[in-house]
Chain A
Amino acid sequence: MAAKTLFDKIWDSHVVRQVEGGPDVLYIDRHLVHEVTSPVAFLGLENRGLKVFRPQNTIATPDHNVPTIDQHLAIQEDLSRHQVDMLTKNCGKHGIQLCGLNHPWHGIVHVIGPELGITQPGRTIVCGDSHTSTHGAFGAVAFGIGTSEVEMVLASQCILQPKPKRMRITVDGQLKKGVTAKDIALYIISQITTSGGTGHFIEYAGEAIRSLTMEGRMTLCNMSIESGARGGLIAPDETTFEYIKGREFAPKGVEWDKALAYWKSLPTDENAVFDTEFRFDAADIEPMITYGTNPGMGTGVTQAIPTGEELSGSDLLTFQKSLDYMGYKPGEKMLGKPIDFVFVGSCTNGRIEDLRAFAAFVKGKKKADNVTAWIVPGSKQVERAAQEEGLVDILTEAGFKFRQPGCSACLAMNDDKIPEGKYAVSTSNRNFEGRQGPGARTLLASPLTAAAAAITGVVTDPRELLDA
């Protein structure tokens, strides 16, 4: 048998049929649903007189559009409340498991999937959300889809999809102190650009990737979409199995043994061929920060903004437009730049390990007076763990506000908006114009770099304070 990649093994085993000259009919094992991209799909289903084909393989949660304080009260804003109510209604009608507000499983869709053990190696997983790539951390083929495709999956548990190409990104060696999975992600995108992964599914490999925790792997795979890739994945190993074992929807007993045997067969065969390969050295990566308006515009925190000298034509215009928006000049140093907000949260860095790292860093220190900081757990389970582990006390002591789970300022659909012109160091994934609120300026970074900035009030190299 020809040598196959991890990606090929999963994809090929889920093809129900190939449409001549067209896309594959791909079977979807798990479908995750949230309130923003689903109502039109449910409506479409209704108009066709169809039912959800496999409600038991579908799970829903409202996350994008929910407030992150006073969740026990009714949602204030009419449109948001209506959207969340629609999700409740649609799930009730079609028999879909809903993890609604205040449900013990509630949270950001990409945080709760793994946490509940729904995300498993070898599965195909989709959601009407581009960061579905997160679930690839477990060795699953997981990708974001549009609303028409949500309707397809609701109607048939299948999707029509052209098969992407394979890319492998190997990161050799060991990460240096203060460098995290988020920095790997921002580094890779700064190297291959925001369109470098387009048309591909990325497999991350190499020593630096192997040594990441599941949380770190999720952070990295989460950001795959920011390089333009359809998704990213990492071969399952002991770290993966250890994480899944015992979770709510994890296989149990003999089922576990069966699943484990299958999972162990998944990693890429030795001689398998990739369409595109990149290799990086972990030692070259330092804590990263972005200075522009796409995630590819990032640099080591001690470095300067590029001068743009080598650019011309629309590349130059785009670069200038971006720096104008940020209020920065070419060639300026990032260290010492004043900031106004810090946001820790999102499906990129809103998991318990992120909060632990942040809390350990700020413990015994004080938040800078000029900084407003929002710490938003990715889920109810993360929220509870943070309380039980005493992280919330540490945060409160250091002057930080701990909120309730949701997407929050990652996309600012609710009230958590960064005001116009203000600078936010954010652990989320997108620094697009207005992403965190109209006119908001976003600097993407790891929880450690965010913590350092929160303490000093300016862009700071976290390693300086780690050593202190």
Chain B
Amino acid sequence: MAYDKFSTLISTAIPLPVENVDTDQIIPARFLKAVERKGFGDNLFRDWRYDRQNQPKPDFVLNDPTYTGKMLIAGKNFGSGSSREHAAWALYDFGFRVVVSSFFADIFKNNALNNGLLPVVVTPGFLQKLLDTVEQNPKAEFKVDLESQSIVNLTTGESENFEINPYKKHCLINGLDDIDYLVSLKDDITEFEKSRL
């Protein structure tokens, strides 16, 4: 998938301090009927964002103009459940480039990384401080630097380092995807198949 390269992001953030946000919430199944990868952002968090009459729910954070930004700060175990990559597409399409949480579900993490959406894992304590900062000042900015693998709370100056697979980091920084690489291995793969007969 083609996505924008990622190096550094300085942005305000949108807080979502709910735990176990599953991919059925991120994008409900009834919006998975498309056969192209377009327009999923409109249905991001559909049932939390809109009521049954399709009116925006004023108490949901994405409908609150106070909060803006390309960074989502979410409670632990974000992205559990269904493997639907549409969840990552919807977040990206809506405009997010980073999701911060203390814990991500495995498949979601892979899907995000494959689509230029950076999952940043921080400690529970640091996560709470990020949320506190946004709550006190919705215009507070945060900096995520992929090269140095750090996230900085620009209000307090506090920072933390995060883990990322070096290969995936390389892909994100250069906007590469895995398929070209795998296709380049075709001879090796064919050899491997023969060796297993």
Report A's interface with B, CB cutoff 8 A: 13, 16-17, 19-23, 25, 27, 36-37, 39-40, 43-44, 48, 50, 53, 64-65, 79-80, 82-83, 86, 128-130, 144-149, 151-152, 155-162, 164, 194-195, 198-199, 225-226, 228, 230, 294, 313-315, 317-318, 321, 411-413, 420, 430, 432-435, 438-439
B110 touches A156 (CB 8 A): no
Residues 31-77 (chain B) with a chain A CB within 8 angstroms: 32-37, 47, 52, 75-77
Residue of A nearest to B165 (CB): A22
CB distance from A154 to the nearest CB of B (A): 9
Residue of A nearest to B38 (CB): A40
A411: chain B residues within 8 A (beta carbon): 24, 29, 82
Residue of B nearest to A128 (CB): B83
B179: chain A residues within 8 A (beta carbon): 44, 48, 148, 151-152, 155-156
Residue of A nearest to B114 (CB): A148
Task: Flag B156-197 by CB within 8 Å of A: 1 or 0 each.
Answer: 000000000111100000000111011101101100110010
Report the separation of the CA atoms of residues A145 and B177 in the bound assembly, to the nearest whole angstrom: 16
B185 touches A420 (CB 8 A): no
* A to B CB contacts below 8 Å, 18 in the list: A19-B167, A39-B35, A39-B36, A40-B85, A50-B183, A82-B35, A148-B111, A148-B178, A148-B179, A156-B183, A156-B186, A157-B189, A198-B103, A198-B106, A228-B77, A230-B107, A314-B17, A430-B22
A198 touches B83 (CB 8 A): no
Report the separation of the CA atoms of residues A225 and B81 in the bound assembly, to the nearest whole angstrom: 7
A225: chain B residues within 8 A (beta carbon): 81
Report the separation of the CA atoms of residues A157 and B17 in the bound assembly, to the nearest whole angstrom: 39
* Contacts A195-B77, A439-B52 given; does A40 touch B165 at CB 8 Å: no
A27 touches B189 (CB 8 A): yes
B25 touches A432 (CB 8 A): yes
A194: chain B residues within 8 A (beta carbon): 20, 77, 80
> Any chain A CB within 8 A of the CB of B115?
yes
Residue of B nearest to A86 (CB): B35
Residue of B nearest to A129 (CB): B83
B107 touches A146 (CB 8 A): yes
CB distance from B131 to the nearest CB of A (A): 9
B105 touches A158 (CB 8 A): no
B110: chain A residues within 8 A (beta carbon): 145-146, 149, 161
Residue of B nearest to A227 (CB): B80
Report B's interface with A, CB cutoff 8 A: 1, 17-20, 22, 24-25, 28-30, 32-37, 47, 52, 75-77, 80-86, 88, 103, 105-107, 110-111, 114-115, 128, 165-168, 177-179, 181-183, 185-186, 188-189, 192-193, 196
A79 touches B33 (CB 8 A): yes
A294 touches B22 (CB 8 A): yes
A438 touches B28 (CB 8 A): yes
* Contacts A130-B81, A195-B80 given; does A152 touch B165 at CB 8 Å: no
Partner of B24 from the list A16, A25, A433 (CB cut-off 8 Å) is A433
Report the separation of the CA atoms of residues A413 and B128 in the bound assembly, to the nearest whole angstrom: 36
Report the separation of the CA atoms of residues A226 and B77 in the bound assembly, to the nearest whole angstrom: 12
A53: chain B residues within 8 A (beta carbon): 186, 189
Residue of A nearest to B181 (CB): A160
Report the separation of the CA atoms of residues A48 and B181 in the bound assembly, to the nearest whole angstrom: 13
Report the separation of the CA atoms of residues A321 and B183 in the bound assembly, to the nearest whole angstrom: 46
* Contacts A195-B76, A318-B19 given; does A152 touch B192 at CB 8 Å: no
Sort A-B residue pairs by CB-CB distance and give the 4 closest, nearest first.
A22-B167, A21-B166, A146-B85, A39-B35
Find the residue from B22, B30, B86, B168 having the highest chain A CB count within 10 A: B30
